[in-house]
Structures are given as structure tokens and as C-alpha cells.
Chains A and B, each alone.
Chain A
Amino acid sequence: MTTAEKNAPGTESAPAAEYPTLLRMGHRFETSFGQRLIIDGLYGGMDLAFPGDGWIYVLNRYRTADYPLVRFAVCNINDEFPRNIVPTIDGKPQEYGNETYKSALMCDSDGDGTLFFTEEHANKVVALDTEGNVLFDWGETGDGPGQLNAPAGITYAPDGTLWVVSTRSHRVQNFSTNGEYIGGFGEFGSHHGQLDHPWGVAVDPIDGSVLVADWRNDRVQRFSPSGEHMMTIDKVGQHGDTMSRPSDVAVDAHGDIYVCDRGNDRVLQFNPRGLFIESFVGDAVMTERGADKLMANQDMLRWRDHIVDLDREKRFWKPTAVKLDDEFRIYVLDQARYRVQVYRKTFRVLQPDEVEPAETYLDPKIN
């Protein structure tokens, strides 16, 4: 690939609609929750999932000695953290220093009480219920079809299957929830359609295409489920700004794409054709529990009074995972700040009779 090719703008996979179907009005910052706490907060947060019980399950990988523990913090957007769950096998929670699962990385849920997470060193996918009981795990180490080598992103697709990224084999693979290999694609490289240490993955709910955070190629790519390359997103805005080591991707019901541009400490929104819409850099507000913590630590309280630039506290620091709910909320796991920041998309869905006839509409290519 030439530099020019590599630097070409995002290739669009589909023509624009004949008339605008969606009026994007922007996003409101809704809230942030979580703080640096091992018990009722986040520490080593990696990803989050919604198993359908009204709670948010944030996956934490807290390194205790040489290997980390795996903990889901059960919480909500009101900063309530009533409990944690840890993988429990035959009624026995895994123990400090003697863990079966040590390197959980990303997670998702079927929305019906089952959580799935990837184990990047054990090369497993683990399923557990919302009490932490391990239902089963599966995964064979290797670089071949159906095998896993440092599994990372995992997403539960609308058709009831799982897509799993195998980072070190540079592949994305489709499995049934109990581990039967269905298909997959990917090879190492930097050309369109090739991957270099991919991380997050999402399925477009509209057409079933698969979007991959192509981490070391600094881009996101869209593939058909059978692996045909459909689109590359590697540019941001009009001035050729680029992504830096994107870690995760999500797609909403309108087909809009959200990318954790982790290396640039921001989240990006693109329309379904890969055109840049908006970026988010973080707007967090300290929680009441965070304030309580400072009040309980008067040294910290005094030091804080001398902070030169509190603006940094609002901003993302290594946003690592992005998830969406059914109400167009965008949840960003703000990893190095031990919290989740939540935005909400505002929009109007346009009907044909609300839009003037096509002949008066601008050439969409001007966009």
C-alpha cells in the first residue's frame, strides 16, 4: 500500500440516502460514576456490560501480586455500587493468589442474565451468571480458525452469536455462545482488510456487519460477516487528524459508530458511512461519594485547593471501552480515572414528508 492509499479518507461502504433520515442534534453529558476504590468502586476497569437486570457490570482487573483478580463491580449511573461478583466455580469464588481466571479483558452480555468475558492469557471465553457462577468456559489456544491467541474484544450479536477478537492472530471470529466455531476472518498487515493487533469489536444492528478496532493500524474497519472488507475509518474531521490506537467500537440503532480513540484520550462519533460527526473528550463531575472521600482525607482536600488546572479532572484518560444502551446513552469506561462517563444522544428521526424533494437537496458528496 502506498502512503497515499494508506492516508486516503475513509472509504464509504454505502451511498448516502436520498434524503436525510436522521437529524443529529448532538450529545448531552449525562453523568459520571465510579471512583478509585477496590470494594465499592473501580480499579483496573476494562469493560462493562448490561445483563438485563437494570444494573451495569463493570469488569475490573486488579493486579494483586503477579496475576490479577477478576471482579465485576455491580453499579448504576447514580454511583451506587451495592455489590461485586467474582468468578465462582462450583460454589467457590476464585481465591486471591490462586485464581483460575487472571487476565480478563473485555466483556459483553446477552442481556438476559449471562455475562461473557475474554481471558487474554488463558485464551478462553468465560460465561457466568449475575451472581458470578461460572456457567462454562471454552477456547483452544492457537492461531488457526476457531482458536484463540490473546482474545480481547467480545460482542454479543443480534443473531445470538459471539464475535471474539483474537489479538495475536490478528483475527475476528464468530462462535456460538457455547464455543462452536462458525466463521472468521483476518490476517496480519496494514492494507485495507488486514489487521494488526485488533482489540474491540461490534456488530452493526442494522446490517450485521462487523466493526473492528484495528488497534495497531490506528483505524476502524468494517467487514461483512463473511470477512469482506467494506470500509476503513482512519481520518477524523476535515484536517486529516488521525486516530491513535483505538481500543473499542460500538454501533447504535441508527448505525452511528462510536470509537474509543484511546491514544488521543477521546471518543469519536462517525455516521454509518464513516464520516466524522463529533468527538467527546470527557465532561465528568466529581460524584458525591468522591467528595465524601476528600472530606474524609483533609490532606487531599487542602492539596486539591492548590490544583492549577482542574479541567483535566473532567477529561478522559485512556478511554478504553464504549457501550451503548437502548436509550441512546453512550457509556465510556474512563480507565485511568476509575469511572464511567455517560453521554446521551439527542436526535430527530425524519420522515419523508418532513424533508423537501430530492432535487433541491445538496449533493451528498459535498458532505
Chain B
Amino acid sequence: MTTATRTDVSLVAHLMRRAAFGAPAWQLEQLAETSYEELVENLVAIDRHERPVEDLFDRFHLDFADEERGNASGVRWFYRMVNTARPLEENVALMWHNRFATAASKVNNSRAMAVHMNMLRDNGMGNYRTLLQKLSRDPAMIWWLDQQTNHGEAVNENYGRELLELFSMGRGNYSETEVRSAAEAFSGWTIDQTIPRYPNGWYDTNFVYREDDHYHADKEFFGEKGNFNGDDIIDRIVTQPATGRFVATTLYRFFVADKPDGEAIEELSDVYFRSNYEISEMLRALFLSDRFKNARFETVRWPAKHVAYLMKLTGEHTDPYQPGLTVLEAKSLAMGQQLLNPPTVEGWHTGREWIDSAFLIERVNFAADRLANLEAPGVQKMVERLRERGPSLSAEELLDAALYELGCLEMRDVIRDTVLEEVGEDRVFDTASAGFGREATTMFQFISSSPDFQLA
């Protein structure tokens, strides 16, 4: 139930799972003291909150000082996910990272990938036109799609094609004429240098426009003719109806459901055009929609979000001194998602494809391991709250309470029955006993091993 001043905890939980990285019940209860509209505003209006200060992260991760190691940016990103007061900003960056999939495997330059990641973060919730402009000038993207080989006298269509197909409109909404013209318009958009690292480390690489390497003749783009440059192409792309639908679908798939709803897409697309392409306006409308509110547990949690969610539950890695952040990055990789290294230009295959047998084992093992750690402050807090429910709990009461503490989760009856059978349906747990902590974490482990725990 939502009133003007309070929000149902389960709805808060849903919002935090999707727009943030999840939260334990005790945090959800605090958030529920606020109206839903204000909660959404707190997420969307990112300027209300400071970004996490990262000097202590840098201080206690001197191994990354040279910014060279391939996992450096991924590790930093996990630190941000766990500690940011702007979780939606990181989620949106993650969404665009998948949409504009650019991978370290080809770029082979951690510093350029860090710049790319920050570009997505800085512009992800802003104006889509600006985002495409920044994307087209991003050194990692230029290298990723061979844009440095796009010369006026020898046009390489790679970036022009992907800009239309994968980054803005989608197949079937343009012709080969537009592809050719876009490619010609972006000729001469390159980087000032490649980045040799031997023997003394990186050199920054920067976007440059080489006028003498640009194709200066007239191009034709959606019926218009002119000596277009790259920004002229972007100006025209963002006005296309297909682009509105494309952006709306990207947001819907990430935040609402894997299968887009035609009516919802049209509504979001309408916001795109009315707001003059502002992503934050689309997000606000999306989170306030009934479609979003009702789409609970309909998506498979992305591996990176799965890892971050577990850290939010266990309260780990809020202190950058704590070793082991690199493990988070490695675990996400083992679950099928290495940040800054998507498998192809199409990004990751999401939804049910996150769950194959190997990935599922990693997800379950990681969750079960972390939720069994009675030294983790978040686990201690959840166990303590379970104790406060009374001197004894039946198996069913403990299951329900544990589901609630883990973020107001739901579980299908068939799974519940299995868990209760494993635990012992008739068992009664003495919450004051010394062994209750272990019994509680065992229940957490049963829950985290279930298929339902993988859903967001």
C-alpha cells in the first residue's frame, strides 16, 4: 500500500532491486517512511547526493596505481555500486555499458576503458544527444569499432553502421544510404595516438578530428542532403521515431521486463520526445508507472548486480581497506559478466541466459558463502533482527522472516515446500540459543540456493 507519506515495504524493495542494488529489510523499512514519489525522486535527482569519495579506495588499492591491470576499473565499479548514494547512476551506466558494449578484450587499454566507464557514468542519465556525441568521441569506442581507420578517402562503415543499428535505431529503420552517409560523416573522427605501454606505462589518448581526413562531399541522410559531419548525423538520429522507441526499449528491458510491452514503449518514447531526449525524465516516468510497480520478480538479476546485492545485504566492502574487492570482480566474471569486457558488440545475453548450469553454481555458491559469514556486519544485523521476533520460531516462521530480511523476497509454494522439507517442517528454533546464528544463516543459504533468489 502506498500513501502520500509511506510506502509499502515490498514496493520499496522492488524499486531498490531494480533502480539500486537491493537492500536488507532494515534499510527498506527506513526508506518506507517516505512516499514512493519522493523515493523515486531521490533516485532520479542524482545531484541531491554526492558521489562516493574514492581517495581511500586509491590509497588502499595501490596495486592499481598504474591503472593498467585489466580488472582495475571493474573492481572500482563494484566499490562504487556498493557505496554510492547514487545507485541509479551506476545502474544506468551498467545499462549503457551493455548497450554500447565496448570490451577490454579488444581495446586492451585499462586507462581508456576507465575513461569509457566514466563517460557512461557522467552522461548516462543526461541527454541522449549528448551521450551519443560523447560516445562518438570516446577513445575506447573509436578503437573498439575501428573508427581510427575511417578515412575520407577510404571509408570504414563499422561505426556508422553500429551507431544506427546498435546504438540508436535498430535494424529495419534505415537504409544502406544512411549507413554510408553516417560513416562518411564520421570520417576523420579518430584518436591522437595509440597507447604503447612499454617500457614506462600508459599515455593518455584523446579524441581528435582530422579535417584533412574527413569526407567533405555532400551526404544524404533521411532525405536531407548536405556536407554533414558527425554531430549533424547525431542531430538527425535523435529526432527519429525509431530512436525514441529504441531508447525506451533499452530502459524498459533493463528496469522492467525482458519482453517489451508495446504500449509502454510508446508512452516512454513519448516522454523521450517531450523532454527533448532527457534520460532522467524517462526514468522518472518509468518508475512511477504501474507497469513498473507490478513487474516484480520478472527478470533475472544480472551477475554484477547479484554480487553488489549480496554486498548490500552483508554490509561488506563499505570500508575500502577491506581486502577482497578483486574477488567480487572475479566472481561476477565466473557468473558470466566481466565488467568492461562484454563478449561481443551486442553485449551480454541477458534474461534467462544468465542462468546456465555453470553460472548458476557460481551464483549459488557465492551467495551461500557470503550469507553464511556470521562476521559480516549485515549478516549479524539480520540474525539479530530474527532473534528479536521472539524466543522461538517455527520453520515456516523462520523461512518467512528470513525472506523478509533478505530484502522482502517472495518464494513460490513449490520451492517453499522443498525448503521446509529440508529444514524440517516441524522444527522449532530457539532464537536465544548459541546455535541460532548458524541455523539462521543456513536458512539464508537455502533461500539463496533457490531459483527464486535469482530473480529481481
Q: Which residues of A contact B (CB under 8 A)?
A: 35-37, 41, 44, 46, 61-63, 65-68, 103, 105, 120-121, 150, 168, 197, 199, 215-216, 245, 284, 286-287, 289-290, 293-294, 297, 300, 303-304, 306-309, 312-313, 317-318, 320, 335-339
Q: Which residues of B contact A (CB under 8 A)?
A: 55-56, 59-60, 62-63, 65-67, 69, 192-201, 203-204, 321, 323-324, 326-327, 330
Cβ 8 A contact of B193, one of A67, A121, A307? A307
Indicate if the CB atoms of A66 and B324 lie closer than 8 Å: yes
Residues of A within 8 A of B204 (CB): 312
- Chain A's nearest CB lies how many Å from the CB of B123? 25
Indicate if the CB atoms of B199 and A36 lie closer than 8 Å: yes
Indicate if the CB atoms of B63 and A63 lie closer than 8 Å: yes
Of B69, B192, B195, B201, chain A has the most CB atoms within 10 Å of the CB of: B201
Indicate if the CB atoms of A312 and B203 lie closer than 8 Å: yes
**Cα distance A36–B199 in the bound complex, in angstroms:** 5
Indicate if the CB atoms of A337 and B323 lie closer than 8 Å: no
- Chain A's nearest CB lies how many Å from the CB of B294? 42
Indicate if the CB atoms of A304 and B196 lie closer than 8 Å: yes
Knowing A150-B321, A303-B194, A307-B193, say if A335 contacts B65 (CB, 8 Å). Answer: yes
- Chain B's nearest CB lies how many Å from the CB of A175? 22
Q: What is the interface of chain B mostly: helix, strand, loop, or mixed?
A: loop
Residues of A within 8 A of B324 (CB): 66
Indicate if the CB atoms of B59 and A197 lie closer than 8 Å: yes
**Cα distance A215–B69 in the bound complex, in angstroms:** 25
Cβ 8 A contact of B198, one of A36, A150, A312, A317? A36
Indicate if the CB atoms of B200 and A337 lie closer than 8 Å: yes
- Chain B's nearest CB lies how many Å from the CB of A106? 11
Knowing A66-B326, A66-B327, A245-B55, say if A339 contacts B63 (CB, 8 Å). Answer: no
A247 and chain B: residue at smallest CB distance: B59
Knowing A61-B62, A66-B326, A216-B55, say if A307 contacts B203 (CB, 8 Å). Answer: yes
Knowing A245-B55, A312-B203, say if A297 contacts B193 (CB, 8 Å). Answer: no
Pick 26 A–B contacts, CB within 8 A, sort by A: A35-B198, A35-B200, A36-B199, A44-B63, A61-B62, A66-B324, A66-B326, A67-B323, A68-B63, A120-B60, A197-B59, A287-B199, A290-B199, A290-B200, A294-B199, A297-B198, A307-B193, A307-B203, A308-B192, A312-B204, A313-B200, A318-B65, A320-B62, A335-B66, A338-B66, A338-B200
**Cα distance A309–B330 in the bound complex, in angstroms:** 36
**Cα distance A222–B288 in the bound complex, in angstroms:** 57
**Cα distance A37–B192 in the bound complex, in angstroms:** 27
Indicate if the CB atoms of A61 and B63 lie closer than 8 Å: yes
- Chain A's nearest CB lies how many Å from the CB of B3? 43
Residues of B within 8 A of A290 (CB): 198-200
